[in-house]
Amino acid sequence: MGSKWRSDPRYGKNFQQHLALKLQRRAHAKADPPPDKVKPIPIQLIRHACAHQPNTCKGRAIVSALISGYFFILRPGEYVHTSSPPADAHPCRLQDTTFQSPRGPLNGATAPVAHLRQATAVTLNFACQKNGDKNQPITHGDTADSAVSPLKAVLQQVLHLRQHAAPPSTPLYTYYVRNTSHRLSSRDLTNTLRASCKDIGASLGLAAQDISARALRNGGCVALIRAGVDPLHARLMGRWRSWAMIEYLQAQSLDSMGFAQRMLDAGSFVIPRHQFLPPDVLSMTQTC
């Protein structure tokens, strides 16, 4: 047995794996997170959850996090506080927000509040993230909905933090109650979504155990694909390094109702075949 280990080129002294191989395997493991086993969240569930939040500082922060996580396809450590190691958690901060307005780009941490209220779009700058890219901005405009809008959601949270003189490095998942700061957790959002799921989940084909905070990322990705957005754009917006995002799309989440007629219309085809030389001509070419 010992001779077998000593002859294996993957291992060095004391039967330890070579450092180069260990680092390579670790890098591959971190290139993209494994696909979540939860089902994607439809927008109906987010609407219900937002509509039933109390008008408190925490309730408004939950609404902002739900909408931001969905539209910006955020990882849990970016929009709620998680138990992940600090090296893997890169929360979006007050200073990472930029609002597009007639006056030009305005940083959410320093621009006058009156100017921020005139914004027509919001940008989140991902200063440092798990896939290694730095300073990658994602921009969203407003929606026609009076409540469900990434611009309105981020602006509401920014104004709350500015009202309490929060420093620019404050994570957006921070909220204040009586001038004391608190942090939204992934458990807060999971409980909120599961409560809504108990009310309307059956009509959406969902059970409470199917839902967690990380499912917002799945839901946003599915919504982009269903809207006809190029999968490459969805991958770029979700900041996936590989095509692992395809595994987030579950067959039951895709509208296949019209596929049958499209398959019927496109199902008639002829496979091209190469015309080979006749045997007598082929033998002549081989003797020449």
Give the contacts of 198 (CB within 8 A, at least 6 positions apart).
208
Q: How many domains does the chain have?
A: 1
Question: Is the pLDDT score of 29 beyond 60?
Answer: no
Q: Is residue 240 part of a domain?
A: yes
Work out the average pLDDT over 61-69. 96
Work out the average pLDDT over 79-83. 88
Digit-coded pLDDT (tens) for 41-51: 899 999 999 99
SS3 175: strand
Greater pLDDT, 34 or 53: 53
pLDDT band at 118; cut points 50, 70, 90: very high
Q: Which pLDDT score is estimated for 250?
A: 57
> In whole angstroms, what is the distance from residue 155 CA to residue 153 CA?
6
> In whole angstroms, what is the distance from residue 197 CA to residue 99 CA?
33
Tokens of 211: 């839902």
Range of the domain at 79: 43-250
| Other residues' Cβ atoms within 10 Å of the Cβ of residue 24 | 11
The whole-model pTM stands at: 0.76
Digit-coded pLDDT (tens) for 243-264: 766 766 655 556 665 766 777 7
CATH code where residue 138 lies? 1.10.443.10
Residue 106: beta bridge partners? Answer: 99
Closest Cα partner for 96 from 27, 155, 171?
171
pLDDT band at 131; cut points 50, 70, 90: very low
> In whole angstroms, what is the distance from residue 125 CA to residue 102 CA?
20
Lowest average pLDDT, out of 53-57, 163-167, 283-287, goes to 283-287
Give the contacts of 197 (CB within 8 A, at least 6 positions apart).
45, 204, 206, 207, 208, 210, 211
Q: Is residue 269 part of a domain?
A: no
Could you please report the per-residue DSSP string of 83-126? SS-GGG----BGGGEEEEETTEEEETTTS-HHHHTT-SEEEEEE
Q: Which pLDDT score is estimated for 174?
A: 97
Q: Is residue 190 part of a domain?
A: yes
Q: Is residue 114 part of a domain?
A: yes
Q: Is residue 24 part of a domain?
A: no
Q: Where are the alpha helices (DSSP H) in 72-176?
A: 76-79, 113-116, 150-163
Question: Is the pLDDT score of 284 beyond 80?
Answer: no
Q: Is residue 288 part of a domain?
A: no
Q: Is residue 63 part of a domain?
A: yes
Q: Is residue 258 part of a domain?
A: no
